[in-house]
Structure 1
């Protein structure tokens, strides 16, 4: 059950993050969504966007499973505790902006583009705030 909860939690949160950064990129032309999906430094060649998005979601599912595992193991019942944990787990992803920008071959934001860094950080904060919600919905549905 915990794996399923982590899977759903990661899929929902990762999808929200992806859609948010896609919207930001569309409106601002800052390549933050492109950077989120970027794996061109691992595999040079054409990779369809949908496959890149699936890889992004796979990483998000791993974070979701870890989040659910720690939430249950540490018995974090209060929303505030769960949000703190999700922020702790998400914080390293904010700093991925810098190595991803350095390694990326595709068009990307500048490494010190403060507007792009702000959007990237806000997107990952949104991810951290969304992460506990599906788990709470699971908890409510199993209590009925």
Structure 2
């Protein structure tokens, strides 16, 4: 696989999967008033960033940049190690859930995010990352291929 196709495919997968995660968490926040979308966009705990007040679009752009980087790295690793479809699904979902689990405690570092002990927030947060992992892994496949591209 040449680099431009690799980067393009990883970027598209990252943007679309990141938008899916964002829309899911925003829907949860609007419908049930659980601040998981706020948590997704939260940069209060990052030293230089916490000095500024960013718009929702800028914060969402930060989220998408991270998503594109993650998606491209995962695609690279999957291609290099020739993961099968099943390995891609399991590993991408597992990594996405792990990242969600590792990031969730940052909720304790802001007044705007859910309490650390909020079970509904944790459940929605992890379910959103599960959806992200599923969406991401589906973008890595072409119809006629047996391995990740």
**Structure 1 length as normaliser, TM-score?**
0.88
Unpaired runs of at least 5, structure 1: none
Deviation of residue 44 (structure 1)? Answer: 2.7
Aligned to 1:27: 31
Taking the aligned partners of 2:121 and 2:94, their CA distance within structure 1 comes to 22
Q: Residue by residue, what CA displacement relative to the aligned partner does 1:88-112 show, whole Å, maximum 9, x if unpaired?
A: 32133222111x11222x4111100
Deviation of residue 141 (structure 1)? Answer: 8.1
1:52 equivalent among 42, 59, 74: 59
Taking the aligned partners of 2:95 and 2:118, their CA distance within structure 1 comes to 24
Deviation of residue 74 (structure 1)? Answer: 1.4
Aligned to 1:76: 83
Within-5 A mapping of 1:1-144? 1-42=5-46, 43-78=50-85, 80-95=86-101, 96-98=103-105, 100-104=106-110, 106-136=111-141, 139-140=142-143
Find the residue that maps to 2:115 and give its secondary structure.
Answer: coil
CA contact (8 A) 1:67 1:89 kept: no
Paired residues in the alignment total 137
Unpaired runs of at least 5, structure 2: none
Instruction: Give me the CA root mean square deviation.
Output: 1.6
Deviation of residue 65 (structure 1)? Answer: 0.6
Taking the aligned partners of 2:38 and 2:144, their CA distance within structure 1 comes to 36
Taking the aligned partners of 1:6 and 1:88, their CA distance within structure 2 comes to 18
Structure 1: 4+ residue segments shifted above 3 A? none
